Chains A and B, each alone.
Chain A
Amino acid sequence: MTNASSVVVTGTGAVCGAGMTPDAILDAITAGHSAIRPIAQWDTTGWPCRVAAEIPDFNPRALVDDRKLHKLIRRTDLVGLYAAGRAIDGSGIVGHRDALSADDAAVYSDRTGVYVGSGGGNYENQYDYFPLFAAAGGELPAFGRELANTVNPMWLLRTLPNNVLGHIGIKHGLKGSNACITNHSVGGTLAVIEACEALRNGEADRAVAVGHETPIEPQMVLYYHRLGLLATEVLRPFDARHDGSLFGEGAGALVLDTAASAAARNAPALGEILGGGYACEAQGLAAIRDDGDGLARAIVQALDGAHLAPADIGMIVAHANGTPQSDLSEAAAIRRVFGASIPPVTGFKWAIGHTIAAAGILEAALALTALARGIVPGIANLEELDPACAELPVSARAQTPRSKVALILGRGFAGTDAALVVRGA
């Protein structure tokens, strides 16, 4: 992002194991509470990893009121639509549009974009075919013949990775530029970056950005465990005992406006998106470089786009996913860019788990909330810093940001690294 024209945040939404608003989630984090608990969705007796940050008492009606819609979408879509709806409600864009003349309202809808970071497909969705496997007895012709008697006719629609995008559009009547980014853990961050570019480029005057994912399912847990990515019990970023990540489920959403669009409805700015950067390490699906090269390049790009120096950054919300390889290379990237003057560093995944496609944008919403409160929440379970991360100013206690600007980092499969720079209100 090289253009300096302002993109303001006018609405935020978030849901995860720690709460259903950015404020409630940050309250839990600052109180030192982790939402990582024993998994409730299936019996994990004998499983190598038995904990994650599930949304407690998961209630589809509390997330999406329209019950007819529940048959057409998956769990991940419920959380995405919920967060987006909260951000849209908070921003006032729909109320403002509906007070316009019919012609002006149509233009307003056409000039409102929707950008989504989606986790893509999942495994449980495919188990809908298991009754058909049973009915077919291993014979493909019988599989074909029994299909219509056995599988929900709407199966493919439930499968669409772009359901949140389509249903935000339908529910709120938004019709502008759009994207559905299925790019693992950087999808949510890229949704923000691309929405900002659309605003700066004149493709849209405002946009809803959302990231959502509910990765806590048996096959996923097992695969991540086999790849050596999961902790046994506790996600402890940068700690000497860090031994892996843990899943969380959730979604985050931001409504972004050009300054003119926000001013037209007197919408208060909750913050500003100043810049974004992105790079790839090209090491394969799960491999990353030890030197943090991709992440360092992404941070430099984000700072350049924001016309800021490293010294201007007030706090860093690190990816901090708790795998030793990611933590150490992340520390290396931060050292490379910030040298001896690193601002306070924190992370949120120790408390809300790794929400994959939701992580970047959910954590950006939390960063804005933290900046508004003037605190850098602590990583409460940090006991002894890994010596290889020694220079990082992380703490179990809250710190004070050195400015109103936060840098949010994200890293995903395929060696992708993303950085976002935001200013708090």
Chain B
Amino acid sequence: MNAKRRVAITGIGLVTPVGNDVSTTWDALLAGRSGGAEISLFDASGFPVHIAAEVKDFQDGDFVDRKQRKFANRSHRFALAAAEQAFRDAGLKPTADTATRWGCAVGAGMMTSDFGDLATTYAHSGADGELHADRLLSDPAANDPMVFCRSQATAGLSLLTRRYDIRGYATSVHTACASGGQALGTAMKLIRRGAVDYALAGGFDSMISPIGISGFCLLSALSPDNATPQRASRPFDATRNGFLLGEGAGFLVLEEWTAARRRGARIYAELAGDGNSLSSYRITDSPPDGDGPIQAMRAAIKDAGALPSDIDYLNAHGTSTGMNDRSETAATHAVFGDDVMRVNVSSTKSTMGHLIAAAGAVEVAVCALAIHRGEMPINANLVERDVDCNLNFVTGSPRRQRVRVAMSNSFGFGGSNSCVVVRHPAEVDGASNEGAEIRR
């Protein structure tokens, strides 16, 4: 019954470390122009890692309602901007008639207070390294409802649903680096099962703050290559030594397929399949044999009614950590078998860095664009391939070919694995639906 309803991607919006819109981001991804640089958002000179891939020259005036601005932190402003881009791109927004038929699913970051608000609370209510709860009663940050609103897990969701009057199923999810992918999968299923006909779906995050950087530094997860920020993220390279922290947002406008066709919408791709699994191995480690990611990849392909042989492009999770890239390679070999060297693979984290809760959403958008434009962005900075990472990487220059089906991998701390499959619209319209039914 669900199989009868397909989901079309009709709008895309991106705010990334390599561009504040889709076309600028895309050009940078094709060229492999890294967004890595010395951190400018705060004085990071004393931190073990003081490089990151920041969103640059971000002007939110075009996108963010002035009244909403005080309820929005940096990541929420990225979300509002990317969502507005996606709606304009789709040429469709909720109306009084359709509001209850619109859903919203977002992957939101894990940070609570902004650093500045936490510092205010320490200055007022902390002493000798401890909170003095009695002082909170007169603490300006602890009594400011705006500070509270910005720090809530549903802050971004509430800004988006209010701004666009989205009155159907609206949800916020968080599975660390898998959040964005799981949000898109959730939205796809809402349309499939008829809970809504349209959805705004995506992810947003910004952890480039003293606390965010600290959290990853303490886990030794970041590349310490402070002198060469543009080379710091080099997934699958033998010399890789950690990820480059990015920030940003990616949003898609999704519509039930036949409705999108009826209104003559430009369809980038079908959002065709979603697969999730738990590695249940260790909280931060990837299983060396790919167990966990394998099941998610297979489930996503099956859910799309596709076969591994249909996949032309894999946007890898590819964090540039030793463990992930080996584990992901093992999983990719297990899923594609003898066919594995046919599949074009790149990790666009090589260019954008790791957008954490936004990563999955941005990278599914990259897959949709690869299908729409018939070109695949490169895995930048891959000079000396790790012998344990033998895949058909897109390096040097982008590959231009028709992409029938593409897949995005996202694997999070906590062991959640999210894989999302997108399909060329001509493969949908050309294929007999009955054939797809049988495979499913």
Contact = CB atoms under 8 A, between A and B. Distances in A.
Interface string B146-173: 0111011111011001101111111111
A342 B291 CA distance: 51
Contacts of B162: 282-284, 415
B365 to A, nearest CB: 21
A395 B219 CA distance: 54
Contacts of A58: none
Contacts of A131: 129-130
A338 interface: no
B174 A126 contact: no
A182 B415 contact: no
B325 to A, nearest CB: 21
Contacts of B299: 177, 203
Given A175-B292, A226-B143, A285 B154 contact: yes
Interface stretch (B132-140, B316-324, B340-348, B429-437): B132-140
A119 interface: yes
Contacts of A155: 214-215, 218
A166 B283 contact: yes
Interface string B103-116: 01000101111000
Nearest to A127: B131
A123 B113 contact: yes
Given A147-B48, A201-B189, A176 B216 contact: no
Interface in B305-338: none
B99 interface: yes
Interface stretch (A134-142, A235-243, A263-271, A399-407): A134-142
Contacts of A121: 110-112, 151, 153
A97 interface: no
B281 to A, nearest CB: 7
B25 interface: no
Interface stretch (A216-224, A310-318, A372-380, A385-393): A216-224
Contacts of A284: 71, 158, 162
A197 B167 contact: no
B193 A163 contact: no
A182 B414 contact: no
Interface in B372-404: none
A414 B158 contact: yes
B283 A143 contact: no
B239 interface: no
A166 B415 contact: yes
Contacts of A153: 218-219
Contact of B174 (A3, A148, A180): A180
Nearest to A44: B133
Nearest to A280: B170
A165 B412 CA distance: 12
A278 B171 CA distance: 10
A163 B412 CA distance: 11
A151 B166 contact: no
A279 interface: yes
B154 A413 contact: yes
Contacts of B50: 144
B142 interface: yes
Nearest to B277: A175
A349 interface: no
A190 interface: yes
Given A160-B110, A181-B171, A165 B131 contact: no
A218 B129 contact: no
A145 interface: yes
B278 A144 contact: no
A47 B142 CA distance: 13
A140 B210 contact: yes
A110 interface: yes
B277 A177 contact: yes
User: By DSSP majority rule, is chain B's interface helix, strand, loop, or mixed?
Assistant: mixed
B278 A183 contact: no
Contacts of A415: 158, 161-162
A114 interface: yes
Contact of A184 (B47, B100, B153): B153
Given A120-B174, A140-B44, A201-B2, A130 B130 contact: yes
Q: Which of B71, B134, B195, B281 has the most CB of A within 10 A?
A: B195
Contact of B214 (A120, A147, A218): A147
A154 B42 CA distance: 23
Interface stretch (B30-38, B77-85, B118-126, B251-259): B118-126
A279 B168 contact: yes
Given A222-B137, A227-B145, A415-B161, A282 B130 contact: no
B416 interface: yes
A197 B152 CA distance: 27
B180 to A, nearest CB: 13
B295 interface: yes
Given A129-B211, A134-B128, A413 B415 contact: no
Interface string B259-286: 0000000000000000011111111100
Q: Which of B44, B118, B280 has the most CB of A within 10 A?
A: B280
A197 B292 CA distance: 21
A413 B149 CA distance: 10
B3 to A, nearest CB: 10
A30 B111 CA distance: 40
B278 to A, nearest CB: 4
A145 B46 contact: yes
B134 A45 contact: yes
Interface string A38-56: 0000110111000000000
Contacts of B155: 285
B91 interface: no
Contact of B126 (A127, A144, A177): A127
A203 B299 CA distance: 8
B210 A144 contact: yes
Nearest to B220: A153
B217 interface: yes
A194 B155 CA distance: 22
B167 A282 contact: yes
Given A176-B278, A177-B276, A203-B299, 5 more contacts: A46-B137, A120-B153, A126-B211, A162-B176, A227-B145
18 contacts: A47-B137, A123-B151, A124-B131, A132-B129, A144-B47, A144-B210, A147-B48, A163-B283, A165-B278, A166-B416, A175-B292, A177-B299, A181-B173, A218-B131, A223-B142, A227-B145, A280-B168, A294-B167
